[in-house]
Amino acid sequence: MKLDRYDKISLLLYIRWWNFLNELTINFSNKRLCSLILPLIVEQFLAITVGLADSIMVASVGEAAVSAVSLVDSINTLVFYGFAALATGGAVVCGQFIGSRDLKKANESAEQLLVFIVLLAAGLTAVLYITKYFILHGLFGNIDQEVMDHANTYFIIVEASIPFIALYNAGAALFRVMGNSSVSMRISIGMNIINVGGNALLIFGFHMGVEGVAIPTLASRIIGAIAVVWLLRNEKYTLHISKPFRCRLEGHIVKTILKLGVPSGLESSLFHLGKIMLLSVVSAFGTASIAANAIGNSMATFQILPAQAIGVGMITVVSQCVGAKDFESARFYTKKLLKWSYLSMLAINAVIFLILPLVINLYNVSDEASHLAKLILWMHGGLGILLWPLSFTLPQTLKAAGDTTFVMGAAVASMWLFRIAAGVLLAKNFGFGVLGIWMAMFIDWIVRIIIFVLRYRGHKWENKYVR
């Protein structure tokens, strides 16, 4: 068969592309990438929907219970996100050692991550119990006695879960960095079933108050921690717990984990602290603004859900590429996953925009709140399609390479200078109200893009890998 000029060029390009893929040190096929990312999407979707189900069931206990759980969880959110980010940072160390084919160091780092995060979480839990009175009375101020009683009960039970959720997060991060996110997804499904089922049983069956909310939360996290540790004992996995397990800290390994994990943990905690601070600004604009902002925050998580999962998957891919010193592959997969992130943002927001009127009606809020919520979600979704992947997915490459300190500094500075300071200015001084808070967030996104794209286009981040 004779090939024309167009066919010859196409064949030549195909051969070059095929050779390029085969030359990649770390090779993630589309099938392998999908098997990594799809479970992450499911896991994050379940976390959001189960959170909504919990809120509905807590509401049946009464307003005092809702207020108490919300107040205590505002603190716990900072703690849990901090430990999740610390676990991810520690897993990056393991991922880079996997990429360099140094499985001995990878497993040593995995064990050190588990030991260190449990000890840290246990110490923090002790501090929280010791300072319980100050936290409940000092931070929350003059609240009704009924709310205080519920908050005290919820605090005592749920804070005991901190070492277990920290251990689960560390184990789940290790499975993800191995590329085996389906394991953490299955454990997460089991934990959510225990949590929701336990809430339903204790609240509606045994007519318990906040104890009916707190006990299943504690139980699900204990079981999740046990499950992830039990599975990590299996030596068939790339990362596994040695037998016998050495429960001691190795200073040089812990130092490396802290170098990558602490900046990520601080970034995450400060980010959520800033969001909590902005709630006080929103509250000054009245009930409609508060309701619209709450609806916006709730639905916005769905608008970015698949892109967020792709960003988590990027940690696995890029950390292994960096460990192999294959920065060409790291850049190749970064661009590829960024394209997937943009496509996923476009798809999910197209669906949300179509059903938005129906969703807003389900909240049964005033016309003013409904109008503001629609504006917020149209802005967040529309600009998110253009800006969110470069603002939040791209920095995952820098984190996976070990450039976490730079990412933390840039993200925190942009957050506090633009999202918070500019948010207060636009909301109060320029009269945009709650919409000004969201406008400032979009300015923060643009600033982040400028900083992170410039960093990515350079080569400094390529020298931050674990040595």
> How do residues 192-229 score in pLDDT, each as one tens digit?
999 999 999 999 999 898 999 899 999 999 999 999 99
* Domain map (residue ranges) of the chain: 27-249, 263-467
Question: Which carries the bigger pLDDT value, residue 140 or residue 85?
Answer: 85
Q: Has residue 139 got a pLDDT over 80?
A: no
Q: What pLDDT sits at residue 343?
A: 97
Whole-number pLDDT of residue 8: 54
Query: Residue 285 has what pLDDT?
Result: 87
Chain-centroid distance of CA 81 in Å reads: 7
Average per-residue pLDDT in the chain?
89
Nearest to 183 by CA among 170, 194, 172, 192: 172
Taking the C-alpha atoms of residue 241 and residue 109, their distance in angstroms, rounded to an integer, is 10
Min mean pLDDT across 6-15, 125-134, 142-151, 303-312 is at 6-15
Give the pLDDT mean for 306-316: 95
DSSP per-residue letters across 206-220 = S--STHHHHHHHHHH
Q: What is the pLDDT, as a whole number, of residue 245?
A: 73
As a whole number of angstroms, the distance between CA 75 and CA 127 comes to 13
Q: Which two tokens stand for residue 172?
A: 């789940």
Beta strands in 22-122 (DSSP E): none
Q: For 433-460, how does the pLDDT look when each residue is reduced to its tens digit (9 = 90+)?
A: 999 999 999 999 999 999 999 999 999 9
3-state secondary structure of 121: helix
Write down the pTM of the prediction. Answer: 0.88
